[in-house]
Amino acid sequence: MPASIYLDNAATSFPKPEAVYAAVDHYNRQIGVAIGRGSSRSAVEAQAIVDRCRGKVAQLLGAASADRVVFTFNGTDSLNLGIQGLLRPGDHVVTSTIEHNSVLRPLRRAERDHGVSISLVTPDSAGRIEPAEVRAAMRHDTRLIVTLHASNVTGVVQPIADIGQIAREHGAYFLLDAAQTAGHLPIDLSQIPVDLLACPGHKGLLGPLGTGILCLRPELEHSLLETRQGGTGSNSEDDWQPQSLPNKYESGNHNAPGLCGLEAALSYFDARSVQAILDEEQLLTSQLIEGLKCIDGVRIPGPPADERVGVVSCVIDGLDAHECANILDEDFGIQTRAGLHCAPGIHRLHGTCAGGGSLRFSLGVFNSQADVAAATEAIATISGGL
């Protein structure tokens, strides 16, 4: 078996920084207590780690304060909290046809059970959401706009500043799905009109699985209902859910090992800025696209490299995407992902849905030019052998 090359970072980043493994191990072996559930030395240490983690997230993403960083269990959990916590019966939502199912499925549930109405904006041929189309879809009862920041299939980056401004003008909220951009693109919530930002901790932020983030703009807690109630380790004398942040949204025990790992992961960005990561990933993305373009029978949906994050999907004439992914893994030691990627709408847009989707390469901070060269050479070999 060849040495493994990991090119599935849009699913989860791998490998993690060494400090992440050490932090999780330290928690499991030396701390072991629940977060916010005691006053022992171990409990104090655990709480300090989570507090530092919250502060690092706020600093990295430009949140107004650390207490406006809510920890969840993944990006889907964050999106569900944002959608279900904001929407009321009869509300109207504007979103796009190319969203991840983590957005579309909660919206469909709200439509069925609570009479929420949904307007779906169709992007242009490159997958970009046109702000004019969003504006045209707005109504007097529009409460929420929710869009992805970048596609998990083609990496296309959306004009979120323009979309957010439309939400402001109409008195609506803007929920941003930053699953593919947090840690890959510079984000400063103090400078862009975003009310809620949802993302996982295990992708571009380099933390463990089982970690998620929802950042709230000031005063939003008065409109965002909690979707889970229970013990928080605070106000235990009261049988009503506390309204203070972040306790209002963090009932039950935290994923303590995961948050310890995430806190360690965020230190990676102290030595290497997100802008430097973006610059390097765009160079690799350009190399990957140009290499694939040189192979006969390979089609690459989506925009140029400088208009996407490091996610590149392709279709190879005469070869099923799943079969190609298996060959890459078994014969070349290259891990990718094939299929619809939980985002069927963008596959419909690019004509890849009926055929079962596409083969996706997604880059991370530990990938190199040699990894990209090996991937394109492997595709050339496979394609030439058809």
d(CA 299, CA 68): 43
d(CA 103, CA 196): 13
d(CA 69, CA 64): 9
Which one-letter DSSP state was computed for residue 244?
Answer: S
Closest residue by Cα to residue 85 from 241, 247, 246, 225:
225
Write out the two tokens for 218. 């000031």
Neighbours of 130 (CB within 10 A): 17
3-state secondary structure 163-216: HHHHHHHCCCEEEEECCCCECCECCCCCCCCCCEEEEECCCCCCCCCCCEEEEE
Beta bridge partners of 94: 119, 145
Q: Apex CA 167: angle with CA 165 and CA 170, to 5°?
A: 110
Sheet holding 92-96, edge to edge: 69-72, 212-216, 196-200, 173-177, 142-148, 92-96, 117-121
d(CA 122, CA 72): 30
Does residue 294 carry a catalytic annotation? no
d(CA 357, CA 59): 37
Computed from CA positions of residues 202, 228, 69, 23, in that sequence, does the dihedral angle turn out positive or negative?
Answer: negative
Q: What are phi and psi of 54, to 5 degrees?
A: -60, -40
Q: Are strands 92-96 and 142-148 parallel, antiparallel or unpaired?
A: parallel
Chain centroid offset of residue 207 CA: 12
- Furthest CA-CA distance within the chain: 70
d(CA 284, CA 7): 12
Write out the two tokens for 173. 């909220």
Q: Which of 53, 215, 342, 353 is catalytic?
A: 342
Active site residues: 342
